[in-house]
Amino acid sequence: MLAFEYIDDNERLEALVRQYEQADLLVLDTEFVRTRSYYAKLGLIQAYDGQTLALIDPLAVTNLSVFWALLTQPNLIKVLHSCSEDLDVFAHYAQCQPAPLFDSQIGASLAGLGHSLGYAKLVEQLLSVNLDKGESRTDWLKRPLSQAQLDYAANDVYYLYKLYPQLIETLKNQSRLDWVLAESERITQNRLTPVDPEEAYLKVKNAFQLLPKQLACLRDLAKWRLEVAVKRDMAVGFVIKDHALISLSKKQPKSMAQLAKLTDLTEQEKRVHGKKIIEIMSQVSDEFLPEPIDVIALKTGYKSAFKAIKQVLVTQAEAAQVPIELLGSKRHIHEYLRWLWDGKKGDLPLILTGWRANIVGDHLNDIAV
């Protein structure tokens, strides 16, 4: 059982922060619950500087601002593992992103240890320690937390601190530490920018199937749904499902009677949102219709172009011993193709920047797409 401090009041947190401010390294993790809510519900913060392992109770501490200030302290590197969801938590609660940041999952990937390694697997691989993941389904908002739950949470930062030096040494030997720091910084970008309600329809599954007038309906419905979700802190799918929005946009009911006949909406959705839906549908304008959604996979020559680019990336990824998923995912290839087919206008695509450019180099210039 690891020794830790349970921080549940402002005074103790302030004293802890004063200590952490003197450190060079702070390992972090968060535990949260996100089932029906739009925003994750923060249940616990774990932190370890090599001296004091702290479990911070955000349900008891009333002022976390002093702790959040550590996230942007420039001389304090923040270490997290597979931190995408943690970054969302920080964006919402702290209104900032950790910098400088080292994501150990990215570090392990670029060190050649395996792509998307889970924390327990990485600990086992580098430290020969088998972690008990039995508390992974804990309700972190419930109090009191059991000793087993607290130990589980403490393990998530304790062993990460222990394995960090091994990762750093390997990456320095490979001259890839800068790659990891750059990639870790990249994944923090744009997380403080809220979703534009006017563009929420672009994230609705199968929106590309719709004609301009139908897209206009979807645009207005998706905007309303997002605003409701944020206001009520509900996951958008619990306001109304994607497939229901698509059905509404295609059939465009003008009355409650017509709405009642639609089978893609639940009776509860019709009862709770029916009048508002009809109101929105009645106000959709024929002016300023959205452009049809451009689906790159439907373009002429897409399959052969994608295959050629993917083969180049696979070859270079193997030569550099970098996972292809990290070097150039399907989304990254699409970004490159759009840029290429648009006459190379605008910002360079990701695979032609930073450490990826070191690997890909001019190899993509050798193919005709």
Does pLDDT of 362 surpass 90? no
Catalytic residue among 86, 183, 269, 335: 86
Catalytic residue among 20, 29, 159, 335: 29
pTM for the full model?
Answer: 0.94
Neighbours of 56 (CB within 10 A): 22
Whether 242 sits among the annotated catalytic residues: the reply is: no
Query: 197-282, which class in CATH?
Result: mainly alpha
CB within 8 Å of 340: residues ≥ 6 apart = 369
Average pLDDT over residues 235-255: 96
Whether 86 sits among the annotated catalytic residues: the reply is: yes
For residues 105 and 156, the answer to whether their CB atoms sit within 8 Å is no
Per-residue pLDDT at 368: 63
Q: In 9-105, at which residue ranges do the beta strands (DSSP E only) sit?
A: 25-33, 41-48, 53-56, 77-80, 101-103
Q: What span, in angstroms and rounded, lies between the C-alpha atoms of 5 and 74?
A: 25
Does 296-366 match 5-186 at the fold level? no
Average pLDDT over residues 352-363: 93
Count CA atoms within 13 Å of residue 276 on its CB side. 15
Q: What span, in angstroms and rounded, lies between the C-alpha atoms of 324 and 2?
A: 38
Whether 161 sits among the annotated catalytic residues: the reply is: no
Q: What span, in angstroms and rounded, lies between the C-alpha atoms of 210 and 292?
A: 7
Token pair of 13, please?
A: 């947190």
- Give the DSSP letter of residue 45: E
Whether 164 sits among the annotated catalytic residues: the reply is: no
Query: 5-186, which class in CATH?
Result: alpha beta
- Name the residue ranges covered by the structural domains of the chain: 5-186, 197-282, 296-366
For residues 34 and 40, the answer to whether their CB atoms sit within 8 Å is yes
Catalytic residue among 49, 57, 103, 156: 156
Q: Please report which helix (H) or strand (E) contains residue 7, including its range.
A: strand 5-7
Q: pLDDT tens for residues 263-292? A: 999 999 999 999 999 999 999 988 889 999
Token pair of 63, please?
A: 């002022």
Per-residue pLDDT at 369: 66
Average pLDDT over residues 108-119: 96
Question: By three-state DSSP, how is residue 164 classified?
Answer: helix
Q: What span, in angstroms and rounded, lies between the C-alpha atoms of 220 and 275?
A: 15
- Give the DSSP letter of residue 364: G
Task: Write down the architecture of domain 296-366 according to CATH.
Answer: Orthogonal Bundle (1.10)
Does pLDDT of 344 surpass 90? yes
Whether 264 sits among the annotated catalytic residues: the reply is: no
CA 49 vs. chain centroid, Å, equals: 25
Q: With cut-offs at 50, 70 and 90, classify the pLDDT of residue 133.
A: confident
Beta bridge partners of 29: 46
Question: By three-state DSSP, how is residue 5 classified?
Answer: strand
- Give the DSSP letter of residue 194: P
Q: What span, in angstroms and rounded, lies between the C-alpha atoms of 254 and 143?
A: 49
Catalytic residue among 31, 57, 220, 269: 31
Q: Which of 92, 102, 98, 101 is nearest to 72 (CA)?
A: 98
Q: With cut-offs at 50, 70 and 90, classify the pLDDT of residue 211.
A: very high
CA angle (188 as vertex; 27, 91 as ends), nearest 5: 80
Beta bridge partners of 42: 32
Task: Answer with the residue of higher pLDDT: 195 or 369.
Answer: 195
Catalytic residue among 152, 158, 164, 201: 152
| Identity at 311, one-letter amino acid code | Q
